[in-house]
Homo-oligomer: A and B are copies of this chain.
Amino acid sequence: MAAKSRPKSDAPDVSDRVGRIREGVTAAILEHRLLPGTKLGEDEIGEIYGASRTLVRTALQQLAHEGIVNIEKNRGAFVARPTPADAREVFEARRLIEPTIVDHAVDAVSPAWIERLQQHLTEEREAELRGDARASVRLSGEFHRLVAEMSGHSIYLGFLKELIARSSLIILLYRRHDTPACGTDHHAEIVSAIRMRDREAARAQMLSHLNEIEAELFLKDPAADELRLADVLGA
């Protein structure tokens, strides 16, 4: 009766209930319905999804490993609140990994893949036209994941999935303007470079794209002031 599992798919296990919980909570976090710092009670989530605490716990541990949830011993799970330092690390890692990923994507180019990428661009444009910021951020992340899948490197794909999840949280936290307009055009140019099998152009486009995303963020450098004050008061 249960849907057949697909172990060869990229998603580890979407067929089981743990996967559903994980996907649901992830979507809620990435679409900003759950703000950073929010407590994720086990009973609470379990009741929502009609599951026992055992399953909720498993899902939360996976999310903790992905970096979008923090688990504090004897305290519970909370939506992660990436610091500006975390944000810089995440984007540095992406600047390192993603140019290499598009490089491999160029090697794997095929009509089917181009078709899939074009279709995704259409979805992105539609979300943009609707002014749906949540969907835009989500689809933007999925574009990068798609390119990583295309590269065929499971290691890079796994790493990038983590980085994308954290990035989405970071963007929602530290975005300067409400305009998420930066993405689509760049994505189209990247797809174009991939289709023409122009490695250098693809790498360059991806790199400048990432730089622009980070430039849109407001990562206060000395942030320590108020944060340290809060810490001292808390301690």
* A interface residue numbers (CB < 8 A to B): 1-5, 7-10, 13, 16, 37, 58, 61-62, 64-65, 70-73, 86, 89-90, 92-93, 96-97, 100, 153-156, 159, 163, 227, 230-231, 234-235
What residues of B have a CB within 8 angstroms of the CB of A90 in the complex?
155
User: Are A231 and B2 also in contact (CB < 8 A) when A9-B61, A155-B90 are?
Assistant: yes
What residues of B have a CB within 8 angstroms of the CB of A230 in the complex?
1, 3
Partner of A64, one of B9, B73, B156: B9
User: Are A61 and B58 also in contact (CB < 8 A) when A4-B231, A73-B5 are?
Assistant: yes
Partner of A154, one of B62, B89, B163: B89
In chain B, what residue has the closest Cβ to A4? B231
User: Are A235 and B2 also in contact (CB < 8 A) when A97-B96, A153-B92 are?
Assistant: yes
Q: What is the bound-complex CA distance between A8 and B70, given in angstroms?
A: 7
Number of copies of this chain that the complex holds:
2
Whether the pair B235, A4 counts as a contact (CB closer than 8 A) is: yes
What residues of B have a CB within 8 angstroms of the CB of A61 in the complex?
9, 58, 61-62
Q: What is the bound-complex CA distance between A25 and B235, given in angstroms?
A: 37
Partner of A89, one of B153, B163, B234: B153
Beyond A9-B61, A92-B155, 10 additional pairs, beta carbon < 8 A = A1-B230, A2-B231, A4-B231, A7-B72, A9-B71, A61-B61, A62-B65, A92-B153, A93-B155, A159-B159
CB distance from A144 to the nearest CB of B (A): 16
11 CB < 8 A contacts A-B: A1-B234, A2-B234, A4-B235, A7-B70, A7-B72, A7-B73, A9-B65, A61-B62, A86-B154, A93-B155, A93-B159
Whether the pair B96, A13 counts as a contact (CB closer than 8 A) is: no
What residues of B have a CB within 8 angstroms of the CB of A92 in the complex?
153, 155
CB distance from A101 to the nearest CB of B (A): 10
What residues of B have a CB within 8 angstroms of the CB of A5 in the complex?
73
